[in-house]
Amino acid sequence: MAMIAIPVPAVMSRLFQQMDVPRDVNDPSDHITMFYLGDNVSIDRLVQIIPILYKACSKISPMKVSCKRITSFPKGEGGYPVIGEIQSKELVSLRDKIRGFLEQNNIKFDKKHNEYRPHVTLGYSKKKPKNVSFPKVEWTIGEIALYGGDDGDQRLFVNFPLSLGDKKAMDELEILVQGYDAAVKSLTRRG
C-alpha cells in the first residue's frame, strides 16, 4: 500500500485512542490520508513523487487542523469506519495544490471519492456508531509523509517538513497540548 499522508503527532493519536467510542477493531490513528496511491506501487514509481512533494512542501507553511466530532463513514468490508473529522481549510487547499502537482506529472492516485473528507480513523464498528461531539482539539501540521513500496524489506518512508520546519510546529504543539488536560479527562470519563 502506498499513500501521501499527514502524520498525526503521538500525543494526538493517544488522545484519539483513549476516546470512549464504539469500535470493535482499533486503528492506530496515526495519519490523515491525503492521497491513496495504490496497493502495489513500486519504489521506482514512488521515487518519482519525492521531488514533487519536496517542491509542494517547500512553499507551504505549517498549519493548524482541528477535530471536535467523532462520526463514521458508510459501512464497508470491515464495518463502519469510526473517524475523527478534521477541519482545516488550509489542509484542503494544500491537498488541492498537491493534486495539481501529481496530475501535471501523471502520477496516478485513487479518485474513488469525489469530495475530500480529511479524517483520522479510530477503528471499525459492526454497528453504526452515534456521533460524539467534544471540546475542539487542534494541533499544527509540520510535515507530509510518503509511505509505501514493494513487498518485504523494500519499504519507503519519507517525511517532508513544511517550509517553516518542524521546530515551530512542535513548539506550537507543545503549547496546545498543555491546555488539553481537561479535554482528555472529559473524553476518557465517558461511558
pLDDT band at 155 (very low <50, low <70, confident <90, very high): confident
Check residues 143 and 43 and name the one with the higher pLDDT.
Answer: 143
pLDDT surpasses 80 at 127 = yes
Integer Cα distance of 161 and 147 in angstroms: 15
Return the pLDDT at 65: 96
| Domain 2-67+87-117+137-188 homologous superfamily, CATH | Cyclic phosphodiesterase (3.90.1140.10)
Query: Bridge partners of 114?
Result: none
pLDDT band at 152 (very low <50, low <70, confident <90, very high): very low
Q: What is the DSSP letter of 88?
A: -
Instruction: Enumerate the domain spans of the chain.
Output: 2-67+87-117+137-188
pTM more than 0.95: no
